[in-house]
Amino acid sequence: MKNLTAAAVLSEDFLEVTDSTCWNRLDAKAQASPHFAVFGQVHATEAFPAGSGHVLIGLISKEEAQAKPDTAFRELVKCVPPTISVGPATTLDSLISIFGDPAQRHVAVVDVNGHLAGVVTRGGVLQALLSALNQDSETTVPAEDLSWQLVTNLANACETSTAFQFMFRLLDEDTIDRSFLEKALNQLTRSVGARYGALTVIANNGEIEEFVYAGLTAEQASCIGHPPTGRGLLGAIDQTARVTHVSDISLDPRHTGFPDGHLHMQSMLAAPLRASGELVGRVYLCDKENGEPFTEKDEALIRCFAHVIANVVRRRRDDLARIRLETEKDVLRSLTHQLLTVTFLHDIIQVLAHHTASLLGYHTFAYFEYDSYRSGLRFLFRQQSTTNPSTGRVLAEVADTIIPCNETSLLEPLLACFAEPGDEVDSKIRQHLGLSAMERQCYLRVPLSHGGELVGVVVLISQSGHRYQPHHVAMLQSLLVPCTIAAIRVR
């Protein structure tokens, strides 16, 4: 194993592109490449004394390119961690150290002549480790190396090559969706020989982001009702950092009972999903098919599964946060540039509505101007998702309608569901929008204010079934800063 090098785990599945092109300019075959090696023109420097030429400036994954399909690769390279280049003789120990950073997805392998020989991915390294572990039983693992520890745990936990390869594939997964989670849970359930299984992913705000189950029919699941909320025994599991084995659920003092319609389950093996100490979910299995107790091998397997899923979830969230931040910066730059040329309040609100649609999305966008003389909100503008972004509607017929309100109470943003009761002002806002009966949507109200004085209020109604999150509030607030300045300027 110690003789393995970067050359042994090399992937040639990449496409060389120039830094001036973008993903949308590539043909369908080229777009299917999992990695893009971006080459740019550089001039003579101390590093490149031979003069100008094309050199590798970075690696971009397919997902990163798809996220900004019209952005030149030279700009995308600036938005991702710097590409690390190694030689073909680089040891596997060194590669493991590099991939210890969750942000590092791939490494460029460059030969002595400076030519790109290929790409090494985290998946390629793990595959080599797993294969080597199968062949080298005398390998010693440095105790301080968590990557080695994880692979060793996998080797000890997985009795079959199927489970072994399954765990490896999870580690290199980029997409977290319901289908992926269901497949992962079903494989875990089969590997352990459990009759039932469940996996919950918890959002940053503590709400259930996704819940999948195994061993139940759709009819049986519907009889249970809502997903487990993490109270009682499950809540206790969330507070731990280890695997919990309960031989008889009914006898555990933390158990508060099953909901009506829930199948009887006796034993449970559970683990919290934690990444860097943060709880991102939980996984639990109930009742072995053969009726026997869960074993130490089962505990090792669910422990590794929880570790892997938690880190995949965290890595994907970090990626989405980074992409979201870059998108927000682009939208904010475009918004600020357009506001330089507008001279009317209506134009400012139209520009805001257009950029808000691209960043957050909505069913309805509305703007209320604050009338300090009459101490109320004047309903000025509404635009729905089906409306042409360049038009919107000025509500001249209700422009003189005033919703009495307390200015101070509107200086803080409000995020709520339509099903939740609002105060009198919000009730009247909903009535004016004609949306008071909609229950599966989210209501977001954010003020335009300057120097502690209210200028106006933006209200967003989400698409049905979509919920705004706290980061959406922060996004809208950042867009309103230049709009507030522009609105004061044109008054």
Please name every residue paired with 448 in a beta bridge, in sequence order, or none if there are none: 456
pLDDT at 223: 61
pLDDT at 169: 60
Of 465, 234, 212, give the one whose Cα is nearest residue 361.
465
What are 453-468's pLDDT values in tens digits?
888 999 988 877 677 8
- Give the domains, in start order, of the chain with CATH numbers: 6-128 (3.10.580.10), 142-318 (3.30.450.40), 340-490 (3.30.450.40)
Residues whose CB falls within 8 Å of the CB of residue 226, separated by 6 or more in sequence, listed in order: none
Please tell me the distance from the alpha carbon of residue 123 to that of residue 98, in angstroms, as a whole number: 13
pLDDT at 438: 55
Question: Rounded to whole angstroms, what are the CA distances from 394 to 273, 278, 381?
Answer: 49, 46, 5
114: left (phi over 0), alpha (psi -120 to 50) or beta: left
Q: Which helix (H) or strand (E) holds 146?
A: helix 146-157
Residues of the chain below pLDDT 50: 1-2, 44, 46-52, 133-149, 152, 155-161, 387-399
If 0-12 CB within 10 Å is exposed, 13-18 middle and 19+ buried, where does residue 322 land?
A: middle
pLDDT at 446: 92
pLDDT at 447: 92
Please tell me the distance from the alpha carbon of residue 293 to that of residue 248, in angstroms, as a whole number: 10
Which pairing describes strands 106-110 and 85-86: parallel, antiparallel, or unpaired?
Answer: parallel
> Which two structure tokens, joined as six digits, stand for 68?
């900004």
Kindly state the DSSP code that residue 11 receives in the 8-state scheme.
Answer: B
Residues whose CB falls within 8 Å of the CB of residue 217, separated by 6 or more in sequence, listed in order: none
User: How does 181-215 read in b/e, with b if 16+ C-beta sit within 10 Å?
Assistant: beebbbbbbbbbebbbbbbbbbeeeeeebbbbbbb
Q: In sequence order, what DSSP letters do the residues of 292-321 get, joined into one string?
A: PPP-HHHHHHHHHHHHHHHHHHHHHHHHHH
pLDDT at 439: 57
Q: What pTM was estimated for this model as a whole?
A: 0.56
